[in-house]
């Protein structure tokens, strides 16, 4: 008996195979970057390993959702924590300022989607600017709303080389799923400010 299998990643069979291979790479990445098994390195290396480990955990969660192993989880999420984690990762290559106003910036949404959204905004800002330009991530709450804003001094929205074209769609999907809205402001010359605004959620009481 002869069996033929598709190698096209666009098919369900091909997609499952890609996810299977990714899981193996993710498991290896998680193991190699685990700060708990590399105690003989200096503090700076430990911090970088912790950032890598967090990135691998995010990828593992994303692949799990895409592959159907994990359901999207809507829960109370602190967007200030998500912003701080994304800024820490971006600081590996760029100087990014984080400005958090107040405390308890809780929203009701999916942690993986929101992390992807803020990460995509930071990636766009890094591509739109030079090391001499400034990137600022602000988090705040006002009344019934909580917001995350990424501002840069680049040439303006749509004026930089495009990536895959999927970044803004990822952001829109995450904002929509959390019941929020997206606002993009471009200055008359340079600079772009993108704000994600969500209905604020009270912190769960244990």
Tens digit of each residue's pLDDT (9 = 90 or more) over 63-86: 666 665 555 567 789 999 999 989
Burial 5-14 (b: 16+ CB within 10 A, else e): eeeeeeeeee
**Better pLDDT: 185 or 11:** 185
Q: Which of 68-72, 96-100, 141-145 is least confident? A: 68-72
Q: What is the mean pLDDT of residues 6-15?
A: 51
Identify which of 78, 163, 88, 159 has the alpha carbon closest to the alpha carbon of residue 120.
163
For residue 130, pLDDT over 50 is answered with yes
Question: How many C-beta atoms lie closer than 10 Å to residue 124's C-beta?
Answer: 22
Average pLDDT of the chain to the nearest whole number: 76
What are the φ/ψ torsions at residue 4 (nearest 5 degrees)? Answer: -115, 135
DSSP string, 76-109: EEEHHHHHHHHHHHHTTTS-EEEEE-SS--EEEE
Task: Give the pLDDT of residue 118.
Answer: 92
Q: Which of 10-14, 80-84, 115-119, 129-133 is least confident? A: 10-14
Q: How confident is the model at residue 197 (pLDDT cuts 50, 70, 90)?
A: very high
Tens digit of each residue's pLDDT (9 = 90 or more) over 21-71: 677 777 777 777 777 766 667 777 777 777 777 777 777 776 666 665 555
DSSP state of 154: S
150 HSE (CA, 13 A, CB side) = 27
């Amino acid at each position: 008996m002869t069996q033929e299998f598709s190698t096209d990643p666009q098919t369900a069979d091909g997609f499952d195979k890609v996810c299977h291979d990714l899981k193996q790479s993710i498991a290896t990445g998680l193991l190699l970057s685990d700060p708990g098994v590399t105690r003989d390195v200096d503090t700076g290396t430990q911090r970088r390993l912790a950032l890598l480990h967090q990135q691998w955990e995010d990828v593992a969660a994303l692949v799990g959702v895409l592959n159907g192993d994990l359901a999207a989880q809507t829960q109370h999420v602190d967007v200030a924590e998500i912003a701080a984690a994304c800024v820490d990762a971006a600081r590996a290559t760029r100087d990014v300022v984080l400005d958090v106003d107040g405390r308890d910036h809780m929203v009701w949404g999916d942690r993986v989607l929101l992390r992807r959204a803020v990460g995509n905004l930071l990636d766009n800002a890094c591509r739109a600017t030079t090391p001499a330009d400034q990137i600022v991530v602000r988090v705040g709450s006002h009344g019934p709303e909580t917001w995350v804003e990424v501002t840069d001094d680049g040439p303006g929205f749509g004026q930089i080389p495009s990536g895959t074209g999927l970044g803004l769609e990822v952001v829109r999907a995450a904002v929509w799923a959390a019941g929020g809205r997206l606002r993009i402001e471009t200055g008359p010359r340079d600079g772009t400010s993108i704000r994600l605004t969500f209905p604020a959620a009270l912190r769960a009481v244990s």
